Amino acid sequence: MTMAGLCCRRNHTVQKLLLRSLVPSNSFDGSSSPPITLPRLASLNNAGKNKLFLRSLVTSTGPKSSNSPPLVLSHPASVDNGNDGKYGSRGRVVCVTSGKGGVGKTTSAASFALGMALQGRKTCVVDFDIGLRNLDIHLGMERRVIFDFVNVLLGECKLNQALIKDKRSDQLSMLAASQTRDKDSLTVEGVEKVLSELTASFDYVVLDSPAGIESGARHAMYFADDAIIVTNPELSSCRDADKMIGFISSRSRRAELGDSMPVSQTLLITRYDPTRVEADESLSIADIEELLGLPVVGVIPEAKSVLTCTNLGSPVITLGEKDPAAGAYSDMVHRFLGEEKELRFTTAERYHFSNGILDDHNN
């Protein structure tokens, strides 16, 4: 055999061994990857391309095979209606997410989680924005963070050491994100283990997802039973939300398993200004429902109180029914829990945006 032939054969052997060592143990959903032909490998002729190619294999999401190990987080059917006890029971995982950044996910996650706790549901809210922690500020807990999500994932502390109890409700706890690590710290196996522990102790585990479809958002939505898609009434926000809706429908664990109900997805419209809608300067609720094809769980009006509450470290919902944004978040919680609530603060004559308070009709 010629020297060129020997070198080619050696390169093929090294690439095969490298694939065997990486792919089976690190695939996104725990399944084996499909076989890769040698001609395809040979076309990746430099180290940079090889690394990118292998990384794409490691994070692929094919369906689980029948030989997959037992699920650490119990089967989604355990929390679906009509569960006959076959899969046991656990708390529900609710992902608050969006396609576009800056639409009010963390503001909404904080008020939603506290609202659920005030309704008697034991709730834990988890910040998945690794490296850019903000949820603790919205809840007024920034000075109490000792251990974080990544510390738990790496086994540097117990989960109960990292959980912070809310002072307003003993039914609410928070797990903060790390400010010093990056999103590569998240693994499917690690996240599943933490969520398994949380859902064994809490009725609802609310995941505050970062925007987009990068690692933090993918890991947040993967185990979701419910997804609340947050969007502003403008076209670019809705287009990005549509992308996230499709991503959840096809890349979540429920989609992969295929033997349970799909993720329940609803829309939360924030920064809604009916005056601008009537002037055709903003999308209406009907426009957004038509574009995205999901039911609306809440409409939060534009209000100065949102920024004030963020700076004070207090969720908007704490302001009570006299504040429109707080009242809208309260209505959203009730709708999520299955109650019938008419949408409020959606017509210009019922709300004055100049001062952020209700008009004389007061309803």
- Confidence category of residue 117, pLDDT binned at 50, 70, 90: very high
Choose from 8-12, 15-19, 40-44, 174-178 the range with maximum mean pLDDT.
Answer: 174-178
Rounded to 10 degrees, the C-alpha dihedral 186/100/288/298 comes to 60
- Cα(286)–Cα(25) distance, rounded to whole angstroms? 46
HSE-up of 44 (CA within 13 Å, CB side)?
18
- Is the C-alpha dihedral spanning 293, 294, 299, 302 positive or negative? negative
Nearest alpha-carbon partner for 151 in 188, 109, 173, 180: 180
Q: What is the pLDDT of residues 90-111, one digit of tens each?
A: 999 999 999 888 899 999 999 9
Return the SS3 of 3. Answer: helix
Q: What is the secondary structure of 58-107 as a DSSP string? A: HT--PPPPTTPPPPSSPPGGGGSTT--STT---PEEEEEE-SSTTSSHHH
- Cα(265)–Cα(166) distance, rounded to whole angstroms? 27
Q: What is the mean pLDDT of the chain?
A: 81
- Cα(322)–Cα(320) distance, rounded to whole angstroms? 6
What pairing do the DSSP bridges indicate for beta strands 164-165 and 172-175?
antiparallel
Q: What is the pLDDT of residues 19-31, one digit of tens each?
A: 444 444 444 444 4
pLDDT at 349: 65
Rounded to two decimals, what is the model's pTM?
Answer: 0.77
Q: Which of 39-53, 308-322, 340-354 has the lowest mean pLDDT?
A: 39-53
CB within 8 A of 111, min separation 6: which ones? 315, 316, 317, 326, 329
Return the SS3 of 167. Answer: coil
Q: What is the pLDDT of residues 249-271, one digit of tens each?
A: 999 999 999 877 999 999 999 99
Q: What is the pLDDT of residues 122-153, one digit of tens each?
A: 999 999 998 888 999 999 999 999 999 999 99
- Confidence category of residue 323, pLDDT binned at 50, 70, 90: very high
Q: 34 versus 110: which is more confidently predicted?
A: 110
Choose from 65-74, 131-140, 296-305 the range with maximum mean pLDDT.
Answer: 296-305
- Confidence category of residue 348, pLDDT binned at 50, 70, 90: confident
What pairing do the DSSP bridges indicate for beta strands 357-358 and 351-352?
antiparallel
